[in-house]
Chains A and B, each alone.
Chain A
Amino acid sequence: MRRSAAPFLLLLLPVALLALPQVLPRFHTYVAAIVLLTALLATSLNLAIGYTGLYQFGHAVFYGVGAYGTALSLTRSGMPAPVAFLVGPLAAAALSLAMGVICIRLSKLYFGMLQISLGSLVWAVVYRWYSFTGGDDGIHGIPLPDAIASPKGSYYCTLIVTGLCVFAMYRIVRSPFGKVIQGIRDNPVRAEAIGVDVKMHQLASLVIAGFFGGVAGSLFVVVESSVFPDMMFWTFSLEVLIMCLLGGMYTFFGPLVGASVIVLLRVFASVHTRYWGLILGTILTLVIIFLPDGVLGVFVRRSRPREVPGA
């Protein structure tokens, strides 16, 4: 693996990110914060799909539940704000565990299809439960602590939390646990044979991915101070998957790149056209045909793990 440019970039990036709100106008600071939290979301999905090889097709649900958990505890209970910001991710992790227990017995694509459809049930409940979740209007004007209420404050909060979470995930991927889940991805049968509890490791990975997805959702509340059901709709789940694919699913930083590209494209496309689906669909088709390893994958040139027949 080539890493000559990496340390230099790694030094430059935090400085640039810290300086951003000082030079950018308000709207662009907001976009930058959305880019950051979406990057966190995509990285958390990659933990399940790229590193564990589980077809996590309903990831936006954990993002949405994280956001709703935080939003509801801020608006409907007298909880102190720091606790509220933990409730969201924990709720997402709990849901991830519950759905994981149901889905984990199925393999590959079957797993993904069941997960995305169960996720759409969560969406439907949130969408219809007017008295509790605000239905399709969502919840607006969520009261935030003063320190993170301003655009700059929310940006820095997002930056710090995203940075910490991405670092934590990086450590997880490099830890013995991370090696084991990658082993399971590459060959579950062999992993089982050498005594690894495959299902437990997969479940643990799902819960971790769900938790960090929930953190991204909580950050959405910080930046937007509102939530709405469409953030957990299944099409968005697949959009996050596209971010991973675009950046490169078998690289750690690929999803960060993919998320930035998609979010920025979406912001600029929405100014000029109503046909975002057409643009995204065309890009995706081209990427799948010409760059199946993703943008970063082309540069990193790590061989993709082979599909194990019957696994």
Chain B
Amino acid sequence: MDFASNLFSAGTLSQILVGLSRTTILFIVSSGMSLILGVLRIPNVAHGSLYMIGAFAAWSVIQFLGGGLFAFLAAMIVAPMIVAAVGFVLERGFFSYLYEREHLMLLLLTFSFALILGDLVKIVWGPEYRSVTVPAFFQGSAEIFGLPLPWYNLFLLLVGPCIAVFLWLVINRTNLGKIARAAAVDGEMVGAVGINTGWVFAFTFVLGSFLAGLGGALIAPMVNISLGMDHSLIMETFLIVIIGGLGNMWGALLGSLIFGLTQSLGILVWPQFGIAFPYLAVVAVLVVRPRGLLSSTW
């Protein structure tokens, strides 16, 4: 059996580890989307564009600072902050006036922002591919069970849990997080007890945008940064959020794991159509649990 020998070969484990490190990025981006969806009820199609801006901004920051480890780490912080600023403008400038509209209108509004941001990126950075080299510190590979795993992937594997813990702390251990959770369940009631929900919503949107930008900055050394990188990602994020349960952050983690693992294993089994496996997994999950694996806030 050709498939079986592929599946059980020595490369499988390192393939899984590489897959897991990409899962980290899916998780970071989709947890941002999940936050925005859960609290603001906006299925943010522009989330992919924010991710793309994160990647381009990271490239620019690294160019500006001239490369090296310091420039790289600075880019990982500055680029998401630029994206967060864009998110702030979008939320305060547009969404904050339109929350009472139907979801459909909000979705189309985010789509129009995706179109506009896509063209603005084309204007600012041009249509060419950009690439970021992994700083020397992260070059080379670690040996895990006798198999090579690039240091940068290992770094991503460590970043993922850190972000998850950070988000858990923000959502569960800060006042702002508690209010945001309450607003997710019943925004009107939160307003009625005298809390200015507008700023909670703004904070949530900015945090979500920051996460999208961080995902984009982190993936920058692993892919060609190009126009259109937003389009493929956004559908994956949608699926992850759906299987996890809308607006549930742990659901986003679980969804990313399912998505990332079925994808990397699927590509091993059937290179041409490996992309179909995560979708099959999603359909299987939804047949059993139509509202996602974990409880959703809606």
Q: Is the CB of B108 within 8 A of A102?
A: no
Pick the interface stretch among A84-92, A161-169, A235-243. A235-243
Chain B window 217-252, contacts with chain A (Cβ cutoff 8 Å), 1 for yes, 0 for no: 000000000000001000100110110001000000
| Inter-chain contacts of B105 with A (CB < 8 A) | 245, 288, 292
- Most chain B CB atoms below 10 A, which of A108, A114, A276: A114
A55 within 8 A of B: yes
Q: Is the CB of A116 within 8 A of B235?
A: yes
Nearest Cβ in chain A — how far from B252, in angstroms? 14
B279 within 8 A of A: yes
| Inter-chain contacts of B43 with A (CB < 8 A) | 109, 112-113
- Total interface residues on B, CB under 8 Å, equals 42
Q: Is the CB of A234 within 8 A of B235?
A: yes
A275 within 8 A of B: yes
Pick the interface stretch among A118-126, A203-211, A251-259. A118-126
| Inter-chain contacts of B282 with A (CB < 8 A) | 114, 117
| Inter-chain contacts of A110 with B (CB < 8 A) | 242, 246, 291
- The A interface, classified by DSSP as helix, strand, loop or mixed, is helix
Chain B window 71-98, contacts with chain A (Cβ cutoff 8 Å), 1 for yes, 0 for no: 0000000000000000000000010011
A3 within 8 A of B: no
- Most chain B CB atoms below 10 A, which of A49, A234, A274: A234
Q: Is the CB of B235 within 8 A of A117?
A: yes
- Most chain B CB atoms below 10 A, which of A108, A125, A128, A277: A277
B118 within 8 A of A: yes
| Inter-chain contacts of A102 with B (CB < 8 A) | 283, 286-287
Within 8 A of B (CB), among A82-139: 102, 105-106, 108-110, 112-114, 116-118, 120-121, 124-125, 128-129
Q: Which of A49, A114, A120, A288 contacts B98 (CB 8 A)?
A: A288
Q: Is the CB of B108 within 8 A of A284?
A: yes
Chain B window 261-298, contacts with chain A (Cβ cutoff 8 Å), 1 for yes, 0 for no: 00000000000110110010011001100110000000
Nearest Cβ in chain A — how far from B212, in angstroms? 17
Q: Which of B101, B122, B279 contacts A121 (CB 8 A)?
A: B279
Q: Is the CB of B112 within 8 A of A285?
A: yes
Q: Which of B103, B108, B238 contacts A108 (CB 8 A)?
A: B103
Q: Is the CB of B116 within 8 A of A238?
A: no
Q: Is the CB of A278 within 8 A of B103?
A: no
Q: Is the CB of B116 within 8 A of A278?
A: yes
Decide: A282 near B116, CB < 8 A? Known: A109-B107, A113-B242, A117-B235: yes
Q: Is the CB of A280 within 8 A of B273?
A: no
Q: Which of A109, A274, A276, A284 contacts B109 (CB 8 A)?
A: A284
| Inter-chain contacts of A125 with B (CB < 8 A) | 273, 276
Q: Is the CB of A278 within 8 A of B242?
A: no
| Inter-chain contacts of A146 with B (CB < 8 A) | none
How far does the alpha carbon of A196 sit from the alpha carbon of B64 in the complex, in Å?
Answer: 64
Q: Is the CB of A292 within 8 A of B246?
A: no
Nearest Cβ in chain A — how far from B273, in angstroms? 7
How far does the alpha carbon of A276 sit from the alpha carbon of B122 in the complex, in Å?
Answer: 12
A9 within 8 A of B: no
Q: Is the CB of B273 within 8 A of A275?
A: no
How far does the alpha carbon of A282 sit from the alpha carbon of B113 in the complex, in Å?
Answer: 8
Q: Which residue of A lies closest to B278 (CB)?
A: A121
- Total interface residues on A, CB under 8 Å, equals 42
Q: Is the CB of A112 within 8 A of B102?
A: no
A281 within 8 A of B: yes
Q: Is the CB of A281 within 8 A of B115?
A: yes
Q: Is the CB of B273 within 8 A of A278?
A: no
Q: Is the CB of B109 within 8 A of A275?
A: no
| Inter-chain contacts of A275 with B (CB < 8 A) | 119, 122-123
Q: Is the CB of B107 within 8 A of A112?
A: yes
Q: Which residue of A lies closest to B97 (CB)?
A: A289
How far does the alpha carbon of A117 sit from the alpha carbon of B243 in the complex, in Å?
Answer: 12
Within 8 A of A (CB), among B97-150: 97-98, 101-105, 107-109, 111-116, 118-120, 122-123
How far does the alpha carbon of A286 sit from the alpha carbon of B118 in the complex, in Å?
Answer: 18
| Inter-chain contacts of A285 with B (CB < 8 A) | 94, 109, 112-113, 116
Nearest Cβ in chain A — how far from B127, in angstroms? 9
Q: Which residue of B lies closest to A124 (CB)?
A: B275
Q: Which of B102, B112, B246, B279 contacts A284 (CB 8 A)?
A: B112
Q: Which of A57, A108, A121, A288 contacts B276 (CB 8 A)?
A: A121
Q: Which of A55, A112, A113, A284 contacts B115 (CB 8 A)?
A: A284
Q: Is the CB of B275 within 8 A of A106?
A: no
Q: Which of A118, A238, A278 contacts B111 (CB 8 A)?
A: A238
Decide: A288 near B122, CB < 8 A? Known: A109-B107, A116-B238: no
Decide: A120 near B115, CB < 8 A? Known: A102-B286, A241-B108, A284-B108: no
Q: Is the CB of A284 within 8 A of B283?
A: no
Within 8 A of B (CB), among A150-193: none
Nearest Cβ in chain A — how far from B75, in angstroms? 26
B45 within 8 A of A: yes
Q: Which residue of A lies closest to B237 (CB)?
A: A117
Nearest Cβ in chain A — how far from B100, in angstroms? 10
Q: List 23 A-B contacts (CB under 8 A).
A: A49-B104, A105-B286, A106-B290, A110-B291, A112-B107, A113-B238, A114-B242, A117-B279, A118-B279, A121-B279, A128-B273, A129-B273, A234-B231, A245-B105, A277-B119, A278-B119, A280-B112, A281-B119, A284-B111, A284-B112, A285-B109, A285-B116, A288-B108
- By Cβ-Cβ distance, the 4 closest A-B pairs, closest first, are A281-B115, A281-B116, A277-B115, A284-B112
